[in-house]
Structure 1
Amino acid sequence: MRDPNNVFHLAIPARDLDETYDFYVTKLGCKLARRYADRITLDFFGDQVVCHLSDHFDRDVNMYPRHFGITFRDKRQFDNLYKLAKQRELPFFQDLSKRFQGMIEEHEMFFLRDPSNNLLEFKYYYDDRMMY
């Protein structure tokens, strides 16, 4: 079981740290924790994402099997992030949609694409028992 004092860590490739900073910090609102010549470390909604400078990033992407993101418990927070992404004209890989309509696992979701083609999924389940 997760201890709320612990933080999940994810490392992803970044082709350019300035554009990565602009996307995650300036536009998406994440907090910069550290910056070095070869990486930036972010507070990504309470967890740690490290963007490592790399020439090895996906040039052609699909949602599956590789993406990451946040599942919100609070619908207002989900809606507010969606509105922010629209207002700041963040690049959508897939706009707002619903999956599994009429089923207990029905949820809303959208995907953003960062400057290095990493896909970020944000979702909200109507029944929070379906979050895992």
Structure 2
Amino acid sequence: MRDTNKVFHLAIPCKELDETVSFYEKLGCKLARRYDDRVTFDFFGDQVVCHLSPDHIDEKPQMYPRHYGITFLDKEDYDQALEYAIKEELPFFSKPMIRFKGKQEEHMTFFLIDPANNLLEFKYYHDKSMVY
């Protein structure tokens, strides 16, 4: 299990800071810092830094192999995130679905796409032993 004294850090490109802040705040992330060239968020307890890098945006994003997100341990948290994304009219890259139906690794998932075409996955495994 993860120690509470560790925070995962992820740096990703963004094309414009204001729209990036708007998207991540609507997602429920807290803006921690803002500079002329980047913004830092509390992303569900971890740190996501969006670096202003309009020349490095993936124009044709695909789910695999590059995306990031949250794996919820409680179904209620997954359901709440999905309801929040719908309520805030956040852009879905892939609507909610069930992957690996009927198998031990079956999980519920949906993908959002941020303003710089970064893909975010949110998922919940029915069998918690499949999280890792």
Query: Helix, strand or coil: the match of 1:109?
Result: strand
TM-score between both structures, scaled by the size of structure 1: 0.97
Partners of 2:5 and 2:32 in 1: CA distance: 17
| Alignment-derived partner of residue 85 in structure 2 | 85
Write out aligned runs for 1:44-59 (5 A).
44-55=43-54, 56-59=56-59
Q: Which runs of 4+ in 1 moved over 4 A?
A: none
Deviations 1:52-85 (A, max 9, x none): 0002110111000000000000111100010010
Partners of 2:23 and 2:104 in 1: CA distance: 34
Is structure 2 residue 86 aligned with structure 1 residue 61?
no
Query: Helix, strand or coil: the match of 2:117?
Result: coil
Query: Helix, strand or coil: the match of 1:66?
Result: coil
Partners of 1:130 and 1:82 in 2: CA distance: 21
Partners of 1:99 and 1:29 in 2: CA distance: 25
Percent sequence identity over aligned pairs: 65
CA offset at residue 3 of structure 1? 2.3
Partners of 2:86 and 2:2 in 1: CA distance: 32
| Alignment-derived partner of residue 35 in structure 2 | 36
Unaligned 5+ segments in structure 1 are none
CA offset at residue 89 of structure 1? 0.8
RMSD: 0.8
Is structure 2 residue 42 aligned with structure 1 residue 5?
no
Partners of 2:118 and 2:39 in 1: CA distance: 15
Unaligned 5+ segments in structure 2 are none
TM-score between both structures, scaled by the size of structure 2: 0.97
CA offset at residue 88 of structure 1? 1.0
Is structure 2 residue 124 aligned with structure 1 residue 98?
no
Partners of 1:71 and 1:28 in 2: CA distance: 15
Partners of 2:2 and 2:85 in 1: CA distance: 29
Partners of 1:42 and 1:36 in 2: CA distance: 12
Query: Helix, strand or coil: the match of 1:23?
Result: helix
Query: Helix, strand or coil: the match of 2:94?
Result: strand
